[in-house]
Amino acid sequence: SQQGEEDPQALSIQEGENATMNCSYKTSINNLQWYRQNSGRGLVHLILIRSNEREKHSGRLRVTLDTSKKSSSLLITASRAADTASYFCATVARDDYKLSFGAGTTVTVRA
Amino acid sequence: EAQVTQNPRYLITVTGKKLTVTCSQNMNHEYMSWYRQDPGLGLRQIYYSMNVEVTDKGDVPEGYKVSRKEKRNFPLILESPSPNQTSLYFCASSLYSANTEAFFGQGTRLTVV
């Protein structure tokens, strides 16, 4: 079963703008991860945020986690054409061993 | 170079003809898993393995088998493929568990006619 759901399904922005996408999940988690996928290729890990963390940064990426609302957001600042990709959140429920992905947000960055 | 290698990358086969998709990782990871990706559904886990000789079902295991005889290899077996198994398949590995960063292979696009 899918644990996470991303919103919006698709996002189109101008180069230089910020892109924000959200992820909601259903059960208590150990951590939440974000991945990027370029058109039909393998997923690449971006960032992992633990359940006791509220915010994490990595370069132009900023991830927040609100466990009370069971939601997370991924912000990409100063977007570039190379950021065009699909972005997925993934979670592992407590006492589980499976990594569950949402359906993803497709981001298009226009030059 | 640290990587997860899947083969083949593309495969067209006929209904009922057994096939195996291989997956190998060179990072000494304990946890390996298989996913299928279908439009609008994201990635769904088929099987996972927490270590050698330890495998367990994911969310969509029907019609698939796996084995983990060696730490580095985790083949996916379709004993009697059907058209609804047409999909993009990914193998992934993680150091200890699903709670650590996953490294993905490049994918296998399977078409069953």
For chain B (length 113 residues), average pLDDT per consecutive 10? 95 97 97 94 93 94 97 98 98 92 96 98
> Are B92 and A43 within 8 A, CB to CB?
yes
Distances (CA, A) of B9 to A80, B88, B108, B111: 29, 10, 4, 11
| Residue of chain B with shortest Cα separation from A46 | B101
B28-61 as b/e, with b when 16 or more CB fall inside 10 Å?
Answer: ebbbbbbbbbeeeebbbbbbbbbeeeebeebbbb
| Residue of chain B with shortest Cα separation from A50 | B99
Residues of chain A contacting residue B59, judged by C-beta atoms under 8 Å apart: 1, 98, 100
> What pLDDT score does A1 carry?
47
> Are A45 and B59 within 8 A, CB to CB?
no
> What pLDDT score does B2 carry?
85
Residues of chain B contacting residue A2, judged by C-beta atoms under 8 Å apart: 41-42, 44
Tokens of A66: 């609100």
| Residue of chain B with shortest Cα separation from A47 | B101
Helix (H) / strand (E) element for A21: namely: strand A19-25
Collect the ranges in chain A with pLDDT lower than 50: 1
Distances (CA, A) of B83 to A7, A36, B76, B78: 30, 28, 17, 12
Burial of A52: CB neighbours in 10 Å, binned 0-12, 13-18, 19+: exposed
Q: Is cis: bond before A8, omega within 30 of 0? A: yes
Q: Of B2, B47, B8, B51, whose CA–CA distance to B25 is shortest?
A: B2
> What pLDDT score does A11 carry?
96
- Nearest by CB: B106 against A31, A42, A48: A42
Instruction: Return the residue matching tokens 């998709």.
Output: B21
Residues for chain A: how many in total? 111
The chain B residues in contact with chain A (CB within 8 A) are 4, 33, 35, 40-45, 48, 50, 56, 58-59, 88, 90, 92, 97-107, 109
